[in-house]
């Protein structure tokens, strides 16, 4: 046990410290401001108050508990507290993933490699964001389901309804957890039907119903349960604006771990022993999710990587070897050093490649790529006109300028719907009719990318005057 802990230690330190290297997520800002709004008013927001384009539209704050925690930690301690929290949760997810791989028969070394591999596939999603909570809860759910299928101890299953009650208040990703549980019910039911023992699948089915009912225990009730479906209605608008909602381009080097895992899964065959129909259904479902959207790759890595490990251990028996079987201390020391040096090398490489960000260990999150100067100018000069802003800056402007200034758009595409998102794309990309959109919306202020085509075009237009230029932004006001 001690040797296993020592082997895991550098991996856990590596994963746990990664959020300190991550840039501030564009949505973090409005999440914290939402937490403050809930804290100050003592109630849930029911309609949008942050924008002027969707003012008064129904708002389902499905991440309210996470937002409250993020706000409380930042106010009491600083952004570094949120970095430490997400880092600790990432380490917890790594431990649960390691345990899942071990349950499937992977040896200690193979399990360590699989954890690092899953982490490599998920690098783009590691940061201080509510989605990180879905990753750790999905990992715990997958572990509990594997333990149940191997032990048939139904008592473990009754941990799931409380888990889903908490999850549904933390992040809308609980729907993915219900999908995993539903696929498990389907696979186990078909397997039991083939053996004429349908009664054996009953506990899992009952827990699925109880877990689905538990997701109603939120301030949003049924609307919160149905909320994830809203993304299916607005995804075509959001995909134009958010890179992580687009399908992964497997030709890019950053997606090589994901592409390799698919090739390996196809080669090994995830329908062969020790896997069963349930695992095949789960692998297919989460592979489709990952191919649909980059942000789903971390979910795929969490669920499918242990299944690949199970097949590798079945085909290569030496990969099932435990660290306790190593009789030579020098071999263990060499392996530990290799794992530690690999983690340190990746950590240092990441840090040296992003010097503009630095370490996120301060009281305030770093805002290097956000329009700090432009927001300050707006506030200091009490400019109150209708503002058109860059999509990725909307969250920061809510954090820095609300309630004095409202935004055109921010990282809540379900709030704005296709019309506002398409209008934004029309203006930001100078598509035909972009001037008419600004006129129809009576926009009088522009806070936009300093080096973008829109800034260049507006800068040549006598109907707009430049008020401020900063490191990343230019602020324009419509001339009288």
pLDDT in tens, 436-476: 999 999 999 999 999 999 999 999 989 999 999 999 999 99
Q: How confident is the model over 199-224, as a mean pLDDT?
A: 89
pLDDT in tens, 172-207: 999 999 999 999 999 989 887 877 676 667 889 999
Query: What's the pTM value of the predicted model, to 2 decimals?
Result: 0.91
Q: What is the 3-state secondary structure (H, E, C) of the chain?
A: CHHHHHHHHHHHHHHHHHHHCCCCCCCHHHHHHHHHHHHHHCCCCCECCCECCCCCCECCCCCHHHHHHHHHHHHHCCHHHHHHHHHHHHHHHHHHHHHHHHHCCCCHHHHHHHHHHHHHHCHHHCCCCCHHHHHHHHHHHHHHHHHHHHHCCHHHHCCHHHHHHHHHHHCCCHHHHHHHHHHHHHHHHHHHHHCCCHHHHHHHHHHHHHHHHHCCCCCCHHHHHHHHHHHHHHHHHHCCCCHHHCCCCCCCHHHHHHHHHHHHHHHHCCCCCCCCHHHHHHHHHHHHHHHHCHHHHHHHHHHHHHHHHHHHHHHCHHHHCCHHHCCCHHHHHHHHHHHHHHHHHHHHHHHHHCCCCCCCCCCCCCCCCCCHHHHHHHHHCCCCCCEEECHHHHHHHHHHHCCCCCECCCCCHHHHHHHHHHHHHHHHCCCCCHHHHHHHCCCCEEEEECCCHHHHHHHCCCCEEEEEECCCEEEEEECC
pLDDT of the residue at 236: 45
Q: How confident is the model at residue 370 (pLDDT cuts 50, 70, 90)?
A: very high
pLDDT in tens, 105-153: 998 889 988 999 999 888 877 889 999 999 999 999 999 999 999 998 8
């Amino acid at each position: 046990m001690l040797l296993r802990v020592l082997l895991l230690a550098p991996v856990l330190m590596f994963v746990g410290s990664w959020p300190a290297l991550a840039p501030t997520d564009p949505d973090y800002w409005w999440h914290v401001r939402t937490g403050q709004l809930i804290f100050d008013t003592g109630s849930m927001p029911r309609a949008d108050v942050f924008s002027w384009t969707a003012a008064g539209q129904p708002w389902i704050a499905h991440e309210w508990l996470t937002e409250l925690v993020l706000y409380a930690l930042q106010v009491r301690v600083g952004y570094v507290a949120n970095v430490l929290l997400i880092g600790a949760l990432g380490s917890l997810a790594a431990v649960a993933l390691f345990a899942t791989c071990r349950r499937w028969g992977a040896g200690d070394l193979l399990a360590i490699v699989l954890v690092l591999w899953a982490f490599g596939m998920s690098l783009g999603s590691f940061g201080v964001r509510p989605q990180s909570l879905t990753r750790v809860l999905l990992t715990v759910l997958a572990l509990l389901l594997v333990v149940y299928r191997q032990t048939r101890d139904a008592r473990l299953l009754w941990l799931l309804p409380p888990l889903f009650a908490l999850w549904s208040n933390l992040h809308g990703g609980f729907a993915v957890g219900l999908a995993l549980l539903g696929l498990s019910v389907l696979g186990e039911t078909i397997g039991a039907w083939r053996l004429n023992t349908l009664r054996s699948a009953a506990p899992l089915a009952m827990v699925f119903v109880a877990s689905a009912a538990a997701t109603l225990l939120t301030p949003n009730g049924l609307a919160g349960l149905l909320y994830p479906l809203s993304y299916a209605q607005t995804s075509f608008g959001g995909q134009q604006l958010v890179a992580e909602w687009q399908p992964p381009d497997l030709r890019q080097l950053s997606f090589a771990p994901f592409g390799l895992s698919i090739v390996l899964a196809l080669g090994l065959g995830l329908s062969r022993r020790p896997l069963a129909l349930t695992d095949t259904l789960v692998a297919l479902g989460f592979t489709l999710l990952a191919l649909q959207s980059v942000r789903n790759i971390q979910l795929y890595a969490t669920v499918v990587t242990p299944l690949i490990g199970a097949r590798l251990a079945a085909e290569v028996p030496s990969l099932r070897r435990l660290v306790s079987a190593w009789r030579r201390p020098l071999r263990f020391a060499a392996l530990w050093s290799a794992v530690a040096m690999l983690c340190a090398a990746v950590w240092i490489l990441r840090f040296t490649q992003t010097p503009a960000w630095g370490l996120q260990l301060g009281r305030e999150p770093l805002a290097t790529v956000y329009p700090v100067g432009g927001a300050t100018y707006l506030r200091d000069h009490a400019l109150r006109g209708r503002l058109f802003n860059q999509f990725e800056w909307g969250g920061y402007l809510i954090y820095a300028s609300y309630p004095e200034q409202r935004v055109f758009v921010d990282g809540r595409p379900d709030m704005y719907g296709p019309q506002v998102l398409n209008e934004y794309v029309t203006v930001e990309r100078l598509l035909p009719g972009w001037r008419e959109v600004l006129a129809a919306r009576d926009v009088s202020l522009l806070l936009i990318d300093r080096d973008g085509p829109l800034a260049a075009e507006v800068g040549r237009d006598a109907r707009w005057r430049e008020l401020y230029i900063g490191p990343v932004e230019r602020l324009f006001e419509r001339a009288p």
